[in-house]
Structure 1
Protein backbone atom coordinates (compact mmCIF):
# COMPACT_ATOMS: atom_id res chain seq x y z
CA UNK A 1 0.00 0.00 0.00
CA UNK A 2 1.27 3.46 -0.91
CA UNK A 3 0.96 6.40 1.46
CA UNK A 4 0.84 9.89 -0.04
CA UNK A 5 2.19 12.82 1.90
CA UNK A 6 3.30 16.40 1.43
CA UNK A 7 6.69 17.64 2.61
CA UNK A 8 7.32 21.35 3.07
CA UNK A 9 10.49 22.59 1.40
CA UNK A 10 11.77 26.15 0.86
CA UNK A 11 8.61 28.00 -0.14
CA UNK A 12 6.51 25.14 -1.48
CA UNK A 13 5.53 21.54 -0.74
CA UNK A 14 6.52 18.37 -2.56
CA UNK A 15 4.11 15.51 -3.09
CA UNK A 16 5.66 12.17 -2.07
CA UNK A 17 4.32 8.65 -2.54
CA UNK A 18 5.88 6.20 -0.11
CA UNK A 19 5.20 2.48 0.26
CA UNK A 20 6.29 3.14 3.85
CA UNK A 21 7.47 -0.34 4.87
CA UNK A 22 9.81 0.81 7.63
CA UNK A 23 11.59 -2.56 7.81
CA UNK A 24 12.63 -2.47 4.13
CA UNK A 25 15.49 -0.63 2.42
CA UNK A 26 14.18 2.68 1.04
CA UNK A 27 14.71 3.30 -2.68
CA UNK A 28 14.31 6.87 -3.94
CA UNK A 29 12.78 7.29 -7.42
CA UNK A 30 13.26 10.56 -9.35
CA UNK A 31 11.09 11.01 -12.42
CA UNK A 32 11.61 12.55 -15.86
CA UNK A 33 10.51 15.99 -16.96
CA UNK A 34 7.10 15.67 -18.71
CA UNK A 35 6.33 12.59 -16.60
CA UNK A 36 5.54 12.16 -12.90
CA UNK A 37 6.17 9.50 -10.29
CA UNK A 38 3.64 7.16 -11.90
CA UNK A 39 6.38 6.20 -14.36
CA UNK A 40 7.68 3.92 -11.58
CA UNK A 41 4.36 2.13 -10.95
CA UNK A 42 5.41 -1.16 -12.56
CA UNK A 43 8.74 -1.16 -10.73
CA UNK A 44 6.98 -0.55 -7.41
CA UNK A 45 4.64 -3.45 -8.10
CA UNK A 46 7.50 -5.76 -9.09
CA UNK A 47 9.56 -4.83 -6.02
CA UNK A 48 6.71 -4.95 -3.50
CA UNK A 49 7.76 -6.60 -0.27
CA UNK A 50 11.45 -6.34 -1.18
CA UNK A 51 12.00 -2.57 -1.07
CA UNK A 52 10.35 0.58 0.23
CA UNK A 53 9.83 2.94 -2.70
CA UNK A 54 9.87 6.69 -2.04
CA UNK A 55 8.73 8.77 -5.00
CA UNK A 56 8.83 12.57 -4.68
CA UNK A 57 7.64 14.92 -7.42
CA UNK A 58 9.58 18.13 -8.10
CA UNK A 59 8.29 21.60 -7.40
CA UNK A 60 6.12 22.82 -10.26
CA UNK A 61 5.52 19.27 -11.49
CA UNK A 62 3.09 16.47 -10.76
CA UNK A 63 1.07 17.05 -7.61
CA UNK A 64 3.71 19.18 -5.88
CA UNK A 65 3.29 22.85 -5.16
CA UNK A 66 3.98 25.44 -7.86
CA UNK A 67 7.28 26.98 -8.79
CA UNK A 68 7.92 30.34 -7.13
CA UNK A 69 9.86 31.90 -9.99
CA UNK A 70 10.48 31.88 -13.73
CA UNK A 71 13.02 29.02 -13.54
CA UNK A 72 13.34 25.91 -11.39
CA UNK A 73 17.00 24.95 -11.52
CA UNK A 74 18.39 21.43 -11.28
CA UNK A 75 20.34 22.55 -8.21
CA UNK A 76 17.12 23.76 -6.58
CA UNK A 77 15.50 20.38 -7.25
CA UNK A 78 18.48 18.59 -5.69
CA UNK A 79 18.13 20.74 -2.59
CA UNK A 80 14.42 19.99 -2.43
CA UNK A 81 15.03 16.24 -2.64
CA UNK A 82 17.66 16.48 0.10
CA UNK A 83 15.11 18.25 2.30
CA UNK A 84 12.55 15.51 1.65
CA UNK A 85 15.01 12.75 2.55
CA UNK A 86 16.06 14.59 5.70
CA UNK A 87 12.40 14.95 6.70
CA UNK A 88 11.80 11.23 6.11
CA UNK A 89 15.07 10.34 7.89
CA UNK A 90 16.41 8.49 4.86
CA UNK A 91 20.16 8.31 4.22
CA UNK A 92 22.49 6.12 2.19
CA UNK A 93 19.66 5.09 -0.12
CA UNK A 94 19.73 3.71 -3.65
CA UNK A 95 18.48 6.37 -6.06
CA UNK A 96 16.79 5.49 -9.36
CA UNK A 97 16.71 8.49 -11.66
CA UNK A 98 15.22 8.96 -15.13
CA UNK A 99 16.29 11.71 -17.54
CA UNK A 100 16.03 15.01 -15.59
CA UNK A 101 16.11 12.86 -12.47
CA UNK A 102 19.66 11.85 -13.37
CA UNK A 103 20.76 15.49 -13.39
CA UNK A 104 19.16 15.94 -9.98
CA UNK A 105 20.59 12.69 -8.59
CA UNK A 106 24.15 13.46 -9.69
CA UNK A 107 24.07 16.82 -7.93
CA UNK A 108 22.47 15.27 -4.86
CA UNK A 109 25.26 12.67 -4.71
CA UNK A 110 27.90 15.42 -4.87
CA UNK A 111 26.28 17.91 -2.49
CA UNK A 112 24.92 15.38 0.02
CA UNK A 113 26.85 12.13 -0.41
CA UNK A 114 25.47 10.90 2.90
CA UNK A 115 22.04 10.55 1.30
CA UNK A 116 23.02 8.39 -1.69
CA UNK A 117 24.17 4.77 -1.40
CA UNK A 118 24.01 3.80 -5.08
CA UNK A 119 22.66 5.18 -8.35
CA UNK A 120 20.69 3.89 -11.31
CA UNK A 121 20.51 6.32 -14.23
CA UNK A 122 17.80 5.75 -16.86
CA UNK A 123 18.05 7.69 -20.13
CA UNK A 124 20.24 10.24 -18.39
CA UNK A 125 23.41 12.24 -18.77
CA UNK A 126 24.94 15.17 -16.92
CA UNK A 127 25.83 17.28 -19.96
CA UNK A 128 24.21 20.62 -20.70
CA UNK A 129 22.19 21.07 -23.84
CA UNK A 130 24.33 21.98 -26.90
CA UNK A 131 25.00 25.72 -26.72
CA UNK A 132 23.72 26.32 -30.24
CA UNK A 133 20.38 24.68 -29.39
CA UNK A 134 19.51 26.37 -26.09
CA UNK A 135 17.76 29.42 -27.59
CA UNK A 136 15.66 27.16 -29.84
CA UNK A 137 14.69 24.93 -26.91
CA UNK A 138 13.83 27.87 -24.68
CA UNK A 139 11.64 29.34 -27.45
CA UNK A 140 9.83 26.00 -27.70
CA UNK A 141 9.35 26.00 -23.93
CA UNK A 142 7.89 29.51 -24.13
CA UNK A 143 5.50 28.35 -26.85
CA UNK A 144 4.37 25.39 -24.75
CA UNK A 145 4.07 27.68 -21.73
CA UNK A 146 1.62 29.81 -23.70
CA UNK A 147 -0.34 27.18 -25.65
CA UNK A 148 0.07 23.92 -23.74
CA UNK A 149 0.84 20.46 -25.10
CA UNK A 150 -1.35 20.38 -28.17
CA UNK A 151 -0.89 19.48 -31.83
CA UNK A 152 2.71 19.53 -33.00
CA UNK A 153 3.90 20.37 -29.47
CA UNK A 154 2.49 17.12 -28.13
CA UNK A 155 3.90 15.18 -31.08
CA UNK A 156 7.34 16.63 -30.44
CA UNK A 157 7.40 15.73 -26.76
CA UNK A 158 6.23 12.21 -27.60
CA UNK A 159 9.12 11.90 -30.06
CA UNK A 160 11.50 13.13 -27.37
CA UNK A 161 10.33 10.70 -24.72
CA UNK A 162 9.85 7.52 -26.76
CA UNK A 163 12.05 5.90 -29.41
CA UNK A 164 10.93 5.33 -32.98
CA UNK A 165 10.75 1.56 -32.50
CA UNK A 166 8.49 1.96 -29.48
CA UNK A 167 6.23 4.43 -31.26
CA UNK A 168 5.76 2.03 -34.18
CA UNK A 169 5.23 -1.13 -32.10
CA UNK A 170 1.53 -2.12 -31.78
CA UNK A 171 2.36 -4.08 -28.62
CA UNK A 172 3.38 -0.82 -26.93
CA UNK A 173 0.36 1.22 -28.00
CA UNK A 174 -1.19 1.08 -24.54
CA UNK A 175 1.78 2.66 -22.78
CA UNK A 176 2.06 5.31 -25.50
CA UNK A 177 -1.64 6.14 -25.28
CA UNK A 178 -1.45 6.36 -21.50
CA UNK A 179 1.47 8.75 -21.45
CA UNK A 180 0.29 10.74 -24.45
CA UNK A 181 -2.89 11.48 -22.51
CA UNK A 182 -0.95 12.43 -19.41
CA UNK A 183 1.42 14.69 -21.35
CA UNK A 184 -1.51 16.36 -23.12
CA UNK A 185 -2.89 17.21 -19.68
CA UNK A 186 0.33 18.86 -18.44
CA UNK A 187 -0.34 22.42 -17.27
CA UNK A 188 1.44 25.39 -18.81
CA UNK A 189 2.84 26.06 -15.32
CA UNK A 190 5.49 23.41 -16.06
CA UNK A 191 7.39 26.03 -18.06
CA UNK A 192 9.80 27.03 -15.19
CA UNK A 193 10.86 23.40 -14.84
CA UNK A 194 11.36 23.13 -18.60
CA UNK A 195 13.54 26.24 -18.65
CA UNK A 196 15.62 24.85 -15.80
CA UNK A 197 16.30 21.68 -17.76
CA UNK A 198 17.02 23.52 -21.02
CA UNK A 199 19.50 25.86 -19.29
CA UNK A 200 21.11 23.27 -17.01
CA UNK A 201 24.83 23.41 -16.42
CA UNK A 202 27.30 20.58 -16.88
CA UNK A 203 28.10 18.23 -14.02
CA UNK A 204 30.55 16.11 -16.04
CA UNK A 205 33.56 17.38 -14.07
CA UNK A 206 31.91 16.29 -10.81
CA UNK A 207 31.36 12.66 -11.80
CA UNK A 208 34.66 11.53 -10.30
CA UNK A 209 33.36 12.56 -6.87
CA UNK A 210 30.44 10.10 -7.03
CA UNK A 211 32.14 6.99 -5.66
CA UNK A 212 29.13 4.70 -5.25
CA UNK A 213 27.96 1.70 -7.32
CA UNK A 214 26.23 3.10 -10.41
CA UNK A 215 24.27 1.52 -13.24
CA UNK A 216 23.56 3.49 -16.43
CA UNK A 217 20.76 2.16 -18.65
CA UNK A 218 20.17 3.97 -21.95
CA UNK A 219 18.55 3.42 -25.31
CA UNK A 220 20.29 3.47 -28.67
CA UNK A 221 17.41 5.48 -30.16
CA UNK A 222 17.44 8.27 -27.56
CA UNK A 223 17.47 11.62 -29.44
CA UNK A 224 18.12 13.92 -26.48
CA UNK A 225 20.59 11.84 -24.43
CA UNK A 226 22.35 9.98 -27.27
CA UNK A 227 24.54 6.92 -26.69
CA UNK A 228 27.81 8.85 -26.55
CA UNK A 229 26.44 10.87 -23.62
CA UNK A 230 25.57 7.65 -21.79
CA UNK A 231 29.08 6.27 -22.39
CA UNK A 232 30.53 9.51 -21.04
CA UNK A 233 28.37 9.22 -17.92
CA UNK A 234 29.29 5.59 -17.23
CA UNK A 235 32.98 6.17 -17.96
CA UNK A 236 33.10 9.23 -15.70
CA UNK A 237 31.63 7.45 -12.69
CA UNK A 238 34.33 5.64 -10.69
CA UNK A 239 32.08 2.59 -10.27
CA UNK A 240 29.87 2.97 -13.33
CA UNK A 241 28.43 0.19 -15.48
CA UNK A 242 26.57 0.74 -18.77
CA UNK A 243 23.70 -1.21 -20.30
CA UNK A 244 22.80 0.02 -23.81
CA UNK A 245 19.47 -1.17 -25.15
CA UNK A 246 18.64 -1.50 -28.85
CA UNK A 247 15.25 -0.33 -30.15
CA UNK A 248 14.75 1.85 -27.05
CA UNK A 249 14.58 5.63 -26.79
CA UNK A 250 14.67 8.09 -23.90
CA UNK A 251 12.46 6.16 -21.44
CA UNK A 252 13.93 2.67 -20.91
CA UNK A 253 11.77 1.89 -17.89
CA UNK A 254 8.57 2.42 -19.89
CA UNK A 255 9.79 1.17 -23.27
CA UNK A 256 11.48 -2.06 -22.14
CA UNK A 257 10.12 -2.91 -18.67
CA UNK A 258 10.63 -6.67 -19.08
CA UNK A 259 14.36 -6.05 -19.45
CA UNK A 260 14.88 -2.99 -17.28
CA UNK A 261 12.89 -3.86 -14.15
CA UNK A 262 14.66 -7.20 -13.50
CA UNK A 263 18.02 -5.51 -14.12
CA UNK A 264 17.16 -2.79 -11.59
CA UNK A 265 16.04 -5.28 -8.96
CA UNK A 266 19.15 -7.41 -9.49
CA UNK A 267 21.33 -4.34 -9.03
CA UNK A 268 19.48 -3.37 -5.86
CA UNK A 269 19.77 -6.91 -4.51
CA UNK A 270 23.52 -6.89 -5.14
CA UNK A 271 23.91 -3.75 -3.00
CA UNK A 272 21.81 -5.08 -0.11
Structure 2
Protein backbone atom coordinates (compact mmCIF):
# COMPACT_ATOMS: atom_id res chain seq x y z
CA UNK A 1 0.00 0.00 0.00
CA UNK A 2 2.83 2.41 0.81
CA UNK A 3 5.36 1.26 -1.81
CA UNK A 4 5.38 4.49 -3.81
CA UNK A 5 5.73 6.72 -0.75
CA UNK A 6 8.40 4.51 0.83
CA UNK A 7 10.44 4.57 -2.38
CA UNK A 8 10.17 8.36 -2.67
CA UNK A 9 11.21 8.94 0.94
CA UNK A 10 14.06 6.43 0.81
CA UNK A 11 15.34 8.08 -2.36
CA UNK A 12 15.80 11.22 -0.25
CA UNK A 13 17.76 9.33 2.39
CA UNK A 14 15.02 8.73 4.95
CA UNK A 15 14.61 5.52 6.92
CA UNK A 16 11.13 4.13 6.22
CA UNK A 17 9.37 1.27 8.00
CA UNK A 18 6.13 -0.13 6.57
CA UNK A 19 5.16 -2.75 9.15
CA UNK A 20 2.80 -5.64 8.56
CA UNK A 21 0.01 -5.35 11.09
CA UNK A 22 -0.53 -8.50 13.13
CA UNK A 23 -2.37 -11.08 11.04
CA UNK A 24 -1.18 -9.63 7.73
CA UNK A 25 1.89 -10.21 5.61
CA UNK A 26 4.53 -12.01 7.62
CA UNK A 27 3.21 -11.06 11.05
CA UNK A 28 1.16 -13.74 12.85
CA UNK A 29 -2.20 -12.79 14.35
CA UNK A 30 -1.40 -14.19 17.78
CA UNK A 31 -3.92 -14.73 20.55
CA UNK A 32 -4.45 -11.21 21.95
CA UNK A 33 -8.07 -10.00 21.96
CA UNK A 34 -8.92 -7.39 19.32
CA UNK A 35 -7.60 -3.98 20.37
CA UNK A 36 -5.95 -1.04 18.67
CA UNK A 37 -3.83 -0.66 21.80
CA UNK A 38 -2.25 -4.00 20.91
CA UNK A 39 -1.52 -2.74 17.40
CA UNK A 40 0.02 0.43 18.83
CA UNK A 41 2.20 -1.50 21.25
CA UNK A 42 3.28 -3.83 18.43
CA UNK A 43 4.59 -0.77 16.61
CA UNK A 44 6.39 0.50 19.71
CA UNK A 45 8.08 -2.88 20.10
CA UNK A 46 9.10 -2.83 16.43
CA UNK A 47 10.65 0.59 16.83
CA UNK A 48 12.50 -0.64 19.90
CA UNK A 49 13.94 -3.52 17.89
CA UNK A 50 15.16 -1.04 15.28
CA UNK A 51 16.49 1.29 18.00
CA UNK A 52 14.28 4.12 16.75
CA UNK A 53 13.05 6.58 19.33
CA UNK A 54 10.55 8.78 17.52
CA UNK A 55 8.99 8.86 14.06
CA UNK A 56 6.92 10.78 11.58
CA UNK A 57 3.87 8.52 11.68
CA UNK A 58 1.42 8.03 8.80
CA UNK A 59 -1.72 5.90 8.80
CA UNK A 60 -4.51 5.38 6.29
CA UNK A 61 -7.98 4.08 7.18
CA UNK A 62 -7.41 1.55 9.98
CA UNK A 63 -3.80 2.69 9.97
CA UNK A 64 -5.10 6.08 11.04
CA UNK A 65 -6.96 4.54 13.96
CA UNK A 66 -3.78 2.67 14.90
CA UNK A 67 -1.76 5.89 14.61
CA UNK A 68 -4.11 7.66 17.00
CA UNK A 69 -3.88 4.74 19.42
CA UNK A 70 -0.09 4.96 19.21
CA UNK A 71 -0.28 8.70 19.84
CA UNK A 72 -2.43 8.03 22.91
CA UNK A 73 -0.09 5.40 24.36
CA UNK A 74 3.31 6.65 23.17
CA UNK A 75 2.94 10.41 22.55
CA UNK A 76 6.63 11.17 23.04
CA UNK A 77 7.50 8.93 20.08
CA UNK A 78 5.52 10.90 17.47
CA UNK A 79 7.32 13.90 16.01
CA UNK A 80 4.99 14.38 13.00
CA UNK A 81 1.63 12.91 12.04
CA UNK A 82 -0.24 12.17 8.80
CA UNK A 83 -3.79 10.85 8.96
CA UNK A 84 -5.40 9.68 5.72
CA UNK A 85 -9.01 8.61 5.09
CA UNK A 86 -9.75 8.09 8.77
CA UNK A 87 -11.71 9.72 11.58
CA UNK A 88 -11.15 10.50 15.22
CA UNK A 89 -14.62 9.76 16.53
CA UNK A 90 -15.64 6.44 18.02
CA UNK A 91 -18.22 4.30 16.26
CA UNK A 92 -21.82 4.90 17.21
CA UNK A 93 -23.45 1.74 18.65
CA UNK A 94 -25.12 0.92 15.34
CA UNK A 95 -21.83 1.38 13.46
CA UNK A 96 -19.97 -0.87 15.88
CA UNK A 97 -22.70 -3.51 15.54
CA UNK A 98 -22.39 -3.35 11.74
CA UNK A 99 -18.63 -3.89 11.97
CA UNK A 100 -19.15 -6.94 14.17
CA UNK A 101 -21.71 -8.28 11.71
CA UNK A 102 -19.23 -7.70 8.87
CA UNK A 103 -16.58 -9.61 10.81
CA UNK A 104 -18.99 -12.52 11.37
CA UNK A 105 -19.84 -12.65 7.66
CA UNK A 106 -16.15 -12.72 6.76
CA UNK A 107 -15.73 -15.82 8.89
CA UNK A 108 -18.62 -17.53 7.10
CA UNK A 109 -17.38 -19.56 4.13
CA UNK A 110 -20.75 -19.18 2.42
CA UNK A 111 -20.77 -15.38 2.41
CA UNK A 112 -17.09 -14.34 2.36
CA UNK A 113 -16.28 -14.26 -1.37
CA UNK A 114 -19.39 -12.33 -2.34
CA UNK A 115 -18.89 -9.90 0.53
CA UNK A 116 -15.28 -9.14 -0.45
CA UNK A 117 -16.17 -8.77 -4.12
CA UNK A 118 -19.01 -6.36 -3.31
CA UNK A 119 -17.36 -4.17 -0.69
CA UNK A 120 -13.72 -3.90 -1.76
CA UNK A 121 -14.27 -1.69 -4.86
CA UNK A 122 -15.93 0.87 -2.56
CA UNK A 123 -12.52 1.52 -1.05
CA UNK A 124 -11.63 3.31 -4.28
CA UNK A 125 -13.17 6.50 -5.63
CA UNK A 126 -15.53 6.57 -8.58
CA UNK A 127 -12.86 8.11 -10.80
CA UNK A 128 -10.38 5.39 -9.92
CA UNK A 129 -12.95 2.68 -10.54
CA UNK A 130 -13.64 4.13 -13.99
CA UNK A 131 -10.14 5.07 -15.10
CA UNK A 132 -8.03 2.43 -13.38
CA UNK A 133 -9.77 -0.95 -13.41
CA UNK A 134 -6.34 -2.53 -12.97
CA UNK A 135 -6.09 -0.93 -9.52
CA UNK A 136 -9.55 -2.20 -8.64
CA UNK A 137 -8.41 -5.70 -9.55
CA UNK A 138 -5.21 -5.30 -7.56
CA UNK A 139 -6.97 -4.11 -4.42
CA UNK A 140 -9.62 -6.81 -4.72
CA UNK A 141 -6.90 -9.45 -5.05
CA UNK A 142 -5.17 -8.08 -1.95
CA UNK A 143 -8.42 -8.24 0.00
CA UNK A 144 -9.17 -11.77 -1.20
CA UNK A 145 -5.79 -13.08 -0.02
CA UNK A 146 -6.06 -11.57 3.48
CA UNK A 147 -6.77 -14.12 6.19
CA UNK A 148 -10.46 -13.84 7.21
CA UNK A 149 -9.57 -14.22 10.87
CA UNK A 150 -7.18 -11.26 10.63
CA UNK A 151 -9.68 -8.99 8.89
CA UNK A 152 -12.37 -9.94 11.41
CA UNK A 153 -9.97 -9.25 14.29
CA UNK A 154 -9.19 -5.85 12.80
CA UNK A 155 -12.86 -4.95 12.39
CA UNK A 156 -13.58 -5.87 16.00
CA UNK A 157 -10.61 -3.78 17.16
CA UNK A 158 -11.89 -0.79 15.20
CA UNK A 159 -15.40 -1.21 16.58
CA UNK A 160 -14.07 -1.00 20.15
CA UNK A 161 -11.89 2.10 19.66
CA UNK A 162 -12.46 5.20 21.83
CA UNK A 163 -12.90 8.76 20.64
CA UNK A 164 -9.49 10.31 19.87
CA UNK A 165 -10.26 14.00 19.44
CA UNK A 166 -8.75 14.89 22.81
CA UNK A 167 -5.61 12.98 21.83
CA UNK A 168 -5.30 15.04 18.66
CA UNK A 169 -5.83 18.25 20.62
CA UNK A 170 -2.74 17.43 22.65
CA UNK A 171 -0.54 16.52 19.66
CA UNK A 172 1.55 19.66 19.20
CA UNK A 173 3.52 18.34 16.21
CA UNK A 174 3.51 19.09 12.48
CA UNK A 175 0.45 17.30 11.14
CA UNK A 176 -1.50 16.83 7.92
CA UNK A 177 -4.93 15.32 7.39
CA UNK A 178 -5.59 13.96 3.91
CA UNK A 179 -9.05 13.26 2.55
CA UNK A 180 -10.08 11.93 -0.84
CA UNK A 181 -12.91 13.98 -2.28
CA UNK A 182 -14.55 10.76 -3.52
CA UNK A 183 -14.21 8.81 -0.26
CA UNK A 184 -17.49 6.93 0.22
CA UNK A 185 -16.58 5.63 3.69
CA UNK A 186 -15.39 8.72 5.60
CA UNK A 187 -17.19 12.04 5.24
CA UNK A 188 -15.17 15.15 4.46
CA UNK A 189 -16.30 16.92 7.63
CA UNK A 190 -14.62 14.18 9.67
CA UNK A 191 -11.27 15.16 8.17
CA UNK A 192 -11.95 18.84 8.80
CA UNK A 193 -12.74 18.10 12.44
CA UNK A 194 -9.42 16.29 12.89
CA UNK A 195 -7.44 19.06 11.22
CA UNK A 196 -9.09 21.65 13.46
CA UNK A 197 -8.36 19.60 16.58
CA UNK A 198 -4.65 19.26 15.80
CA UNK A 199 -2.76 22.34 17.05
CA UNK A 200 -0.71 22.41 13.86
CA UNK A 201 -2.99 20.44 11.63
CA UNK A 202 -3.39 21.08 7.91
CA UNK A 203 -6.26 19.70 5.84
CA UNK A 204 -5.59 18.62 2.26
CA UNK A 205 -8.33 17.31 -0.01
CA UNK A 206 -7.11 15.07 -2.81
CA UNK A 207 -9.15 15.27 -5.98
CA UNK A 208 -10.42 12.14 -7.74
CA UNK A 209 -9.37 9.88 -4.83
CA UNK A 210 -11.42 7.68 -2.55
CA UNK A 211 -10.50 5.82 0.62
CA UNK A 212 -7.00 4.74 -0.42
CA UNK A 213 -5.07 7.90 -1.44
CA UNK A 214 -1.62 6.24 -1.23
CA UNK A 215 -2.68 3.97 -4.11
CA UNK A 216 -4.99 6.33 -5.97
CA UNK A 217 -2.82 9.45 -5.87
CA UNK A 218 0.66 8.11 -5.07
CA UNK A 219 2.69 11.09 -6.27
CA UNK A 220 0.54 13.64 -4.45
CA UNK A 221 0.66 11.67 -1.21
CA UNK A 222 4.42 11.23 -1.54
CA UNK A 223 4.81 14.98 -2.01
CA UNK A 224 2.74 15.74 1.08
CA UNK A 225 4.57 13.22 3.25
CA UNK A 226 7.96 14.54 2.14
CA UNK A 227 6.86 18.07 3.04
CA UNK A 228 5.73 16.84 6.46
CA UNK A 229 9.02 15.05 7.12
CA UNK A 230 10.95 18.14 6.00
CA UNK A 231 8.92 20.31 8.39
CA UNK A 232 9.62 17.91 11.23
CA UNK A 233 13.35 17.83 10.44
CA UNK A 234 13.55 21.63 10.32
CA UNK A 235 11.81 21.87 13.66
CA UNK A 236 14.13 19.29 15.19
CA UNK A 237 17.21 21.17 13.96
CA UNK A 238 15.85 24.38 15.47
CA UNK A 239 15.11 22.69 18.78
CA UNK A 240 11.41 23.44 18.57
CA UNK A 241 8.28 21.41 19.35
CA UNK A 242 7.48 18.62 21.74
CA UNK A 243 10.22 16.29 20.48
Q: TM-score with structure 2 length normalisation?
A: 0.88
- Structure 1 residue 56 corresponds to structure 2 residue 19: yes
| Among 142, 153, 172, the residue aligned to 1:182 | 142
Inter-partner Cα distance in structure 1 for 2:161 and 2:91: 7
Moved over 4 A (4+): none
CA contact (8 A) 1:149 1:184 kept: no
| Structure richer in strand, relative to its length | 1
CA contact (8 A) 2:116 2:144 kept: no
| Among 185, 191, 196, the residue aligned to 2:157 | 196
Secondary structure at 1:189 match in 2: helix
User: What are structure 2's unaligned runs of at least 5 residues?
Assistant: 234-243
In structure 1, the partner of 2:47 is 85
| Among 103, 109, 123, the residue aligned to 2:85 | 123
Report deviation, 1:257: 1.4
Inter-partner Cα distance in structure 2 for 1:152 and 1:108: 30
Secondary structure at 1:217 match in 2: strand
Inter-partner Cα distance in structure 2 for 1:130 and 1:223: 18
User: What are structure 1's unaligned runs of at least 5 residues?
Assistant: 1-38
**Matching of residues 160-239 of structure 1 within 5 Å:** 161-169=123-131, 172-190=132-150, 191-239=152-200
Q: CA-atom RMSD, angstroms?
A: 1.7
| Structure richer in helix, relative to its length | 2
Closer, same or farther: CA 177–231 of 1 in aligned 2, 3 Å: same
Structure of higher RCO (CA pairs closer than 8 Å, 6+ residues apart): 2
- Structure 1 residue 158 corresponds to structure 2 residue 121: yes
- Structure 1 residue 68 corresponds to structure 2 residue 28: no
Secondary structure at 1:48 match in 2: helix
